[in-house]
Amino acid sequence: MEGRGKTWPLLAAGLLFCAALLSGCGRVEPPQEVERASVAVSQEGAVTAWLVEDFAQDYYQVSELQRMVDEDLSSFNAQHQAQGFRAEAASVQRTKDGSKVVVELTFNDTRAYEAYTGLALFYGTLEQAYAMGYSLDVGWTAVKDLSSTAATAVLEKTKRHVMIVEGPVRSYAPYKPLYVSQGAVPASDGGVDPMGADALTYLIFQ
């Protein structure tokens, strides 16, 4: 995809958050700390990504990295203004132990995230996923008991929502998933770990 951010390869060694909090009705809240690659989509479709990179203070300062990220995002936003894409750096800061730097990026929608990272990210109903050309003919696992589940039972309610994520990242949907693609691993915090680095991970929720 076009418009991949120049800073992403520098930082994408591990973008994640490790402590999402679950509230009532199965909602999944954003995490408070980061430790590995992740991406979260809000109920409205906005995207947040946390990037974590080893902090080599001999080579750069946080302030310099902040400047690099801001310049890269400014260039991206100008290039994609006509498409309505918007990306921002919510924060650039060191971890408490000082060994890593955490960059929190926000995107106004999944298309902006795709354009910046070059990685697929879909959020919508099953109907919309079919219309976009996604195949949902994958093996499914029920999150409640980790049992294999027939696709007919998973896909019969086409108004359900699905999140489809490319890459080796932990995925967080707005709600705790009911089903995940076979091989994906549900985490206790409501996130889902991928089957493999190059695979698409599917999460179906209400």
Question: HSE on the CB side for 65, CA within 13 Å?
Answer: 26
Mean pLDDT for 20-31 is 52
pLDDT category of residue 71 using cuts at 50, 70 and 90 = very high
Beta strands in the chain (DSSP E): 38-41, 47-54, 87-94, 100-107, 121-125, 140-142, 148-149, 161-166, 170-172, 179-181, 185-186, 192-193, 200-205
pLDDT category of residue 52 using cuts at 50, 70 and 90 = confident
Mean pLDDT for 58-78 is 88
d(CA 175, CA 25): 8
pLDDT score of 173 more than 60: yes
pLDDT, position 101: 84
pLDDT score of 178 more than 80: yes
pLDDT category of residue 120 using cuts at 50, 70 and 90 = very high
The larger pLDDT score, comparing residue 6 to residue 21, is at 6
- When the pLDDT of each residue in the chain is averaged and rounded to a whole number, the result is 84
Number of Cβ atoms within 10 Å of the Cβ of 182: 13
The larger pLDDT score, comparing residue 177 to residue 20, is at 177
Global pTM reads: 0.82
pLDDT score of 58 more than 50: yes
Residues 55/78/163/119 CA torsion (nearest 10 deg): -60
pLDDT score of 3 more than 80: no
